[in-house]
Amino acid sequence: QPPNLQMEESGSLGRVNCRAKGAAPGFKVAILGAAGGIGQPLALLMKMNPLVSVLHLYDVVNTPGVTSDISHMDTGAVVRGFLGQAQLEDALIGMDLVIIPAGVPRKPGMTRDDLFKINAGIVKTLCEGIAKSCPNAIVNLISNPVNSTVPIAAEVFKKAGTFDPKRLFGVTMLDVVRANTFVAEVLGLDPRDIDVPVVGGHAGVTILPLLSQVKPPCSFTAQEIDYLTDRIQNGGTEVVEAKAGSGSATLSMAYAAVKFADACLRGLRGDSGIVQCAFVASQVTELPFFASKVRLGRTGAEEIYPLGPLNEYERVGLEKAKKELAASIEKGVSFIRK
């Protein structure tokens, strides 16, 4: 399926916009929650992405200002802002990729599950809009608790008859980004050279770094494994506490979201060998959703890789992760079904 061409109307002074003819092909991307702590730097970085031709910024507050600001950047993407529920449909029509960082973040002492009450309803409404206006778009869901909001999205899409498991992704990229950084620190290497698979889900013990599969191959002491596993699982809480009530990770999250979105767009373009970890509908374990390595292609998640050989430490971690994940998935599913 070819990417959408950027087609612009005539400019404000009546000249025919020459970009309408010679426009480079690119993808249409919407950010829902674009005025928030993650949304703003995410919008900035997506405006810089050469694969994006049209960028729609949607929120229930402050999008006119954010849109005006971002639109002055002299990069290729055309930016349009949308404010409030009445404009959701227009924000979504024709989109290839929808990124969702809408919803409340944690404060110190909160778990991601504490956000369920508010964010479940927000994600439901936004996904109903996607089902109606761009049912074939790839969806990157960032809103927490990801372990429950992805099942919510799937149920909304199933109800609407538009569910394609290959196109729905819970974004767990920040766990991978943190794992790469923390492992590089311990090994004294450049984080760009490190690849740590992180599987399971996106909360506490469900975040399972597979330190036995780090590339390049390396070994850790038992003490290092305990330290790294704990720090990777609680990296989000580290930021929440440092921000002392003003929110959770936003800048590193925007970076991670763009890293994942860019991988999705390169997959859509037909690039080969694009593999990233994400929380997806999966048969890798007995659970209906699980994060593991996924190959991204023209139709979304084209292949989901098995976990590979785990050591005893990881097998124990996997059982703990699955127990908590099962409950979080069930909570999301029953939010829609009941």
Secondary structure letter of residue 317 according to DSSP: H
Q: How far apart, in whole angstroms, are the C-alpha atoms of residue 20 and residue 46?
A: 21
Q: Which of 135, 165, 247, 288 binds ligand NAI (CB under 6 A)?
A: 247
User: What does DSSP assign to residue 4?
Assistant: P
Active-site hit among 202, 231, 293, 322: 202
Compute the least distance from the CB of residue 263 to ligand NAI, in Å: 15
Query: Site for ligand NAI (CB under 6 A): which residue of 27, 30, 36, 208?
Result: 36
Beta 300-304 vs 289-297: how paired, if at all?
antiparallel
Alpha-carbon distance 278 to 272, whole Å?
18
Out of 23, 27, 28, 37, point to the residue binding ligand NAI (CB under 6 A): 37
Contact 293, 275 (CB under 8 A): yes
Type of residue found at 332: G
Do the beta carbons of residue 207 and residue 175 sit within 8 Å?
yes
Q: Name the segment binding ligand NAI (CB under 6 A); options: 118-126, 150-158, 183-191, 291-299.
A: 118-126
Pairing mode, strands 97-100 and 27-32? parallel
CB-nearer residue toward ligand NAI: 177 or 318: 177
When asked if residue 133 is in the footprint of ligand NAI (CB under 6 A), the reply is no
**Among 6, 49, 53, 119, interactor with ligand NAI by CB under 6 A:** 119
* 101/300 with CB nearer ligand NAI: 101
Of 23, 29, 31, 35, the residue at the interface with ligand NAI (CB under 6 A) is: 35
Q: Which of 167, 178, 202, 322 binds ligand NAI (CB under 6 A)?
A: 202
Q: Check if 202 is active-site.
A: yes
Question: For ligand NAI, which stretch binds (CB under 6 A), given 27-35, 185-193, 314-322, 328-336?
Answer: 27-35
Distance CA 145, CA 283 (A): 21
How far is Cα 78 from Cα 84, in angstroms, rounded to an integer?
A: 20
Q: What angle do CA 258, 155, 105 make, to 5 degrees?
A: 45
Q: Which residues pair with 54 in a beta bridge?
A: 28, 78
Spatial CA neighbour of 137 closest among 104, 100, 199, 94: 94
Decide: is 250 part of the binding site for ligand NAI (CB under 6 A).
yes
Phi and psi at residue 168, to the nearest 5°:
-110, 120
* Shortest spacing between CB 213 and ligand NAI, in angstroms: 21
Q: Which helix (H) or strand (E) holds 261?
A: helix 251-269
Work out which of 210, 228, 253, 307 binds ligand NAI, going by CB under 6 A. 253
In angstroms, what is the minimal distance from the CB of 117 to ligand NAI? 12
Rg (Cα) of the chain, in Å, rounded?
20
CB of 251 to ligand NAI, least distance (A): 10
- In whole angstroms, give the CA distance from residue 83 to residue 314: 45
Residues numbered 299-328 forming contacts with ligand NAI, rule: CB under 6 A: none
**Ranges within 142-161 binding ligand NAI (CB under 6 A):** 142-144, 146
Chosen residue from 30, 52, 53, 59 binding ligand NAI by CB under 6 A: 59
With 0-12 / 13-18 / 19 or more C-beta atoms within 10 angstroms meaning exposed / middle / buried, residue 170 is buried
Which range binds ligand NAI by CB under 6 A, 2-10, 129-137, 139-147, 190-198?
A: 139-147
Half-sphere exposure of 103 (CA within 13 A, CB side): 27
**Which active-site residues does the annotation give?**
202
Residues comprising the binding site for NAD(+)?
33-39, 59, 119, 142-144, 253
| Known binding-site positions | 33-39, 59, 106, 112, 119, 142-144, 178, 253
Contact set with ligand NAI (CB under 6 A): 32-33, 35-39, 59-61, 101-106, 115, 119, 122, 125-126, 142-144, 146, 171, 174, 202, 247-250, 253
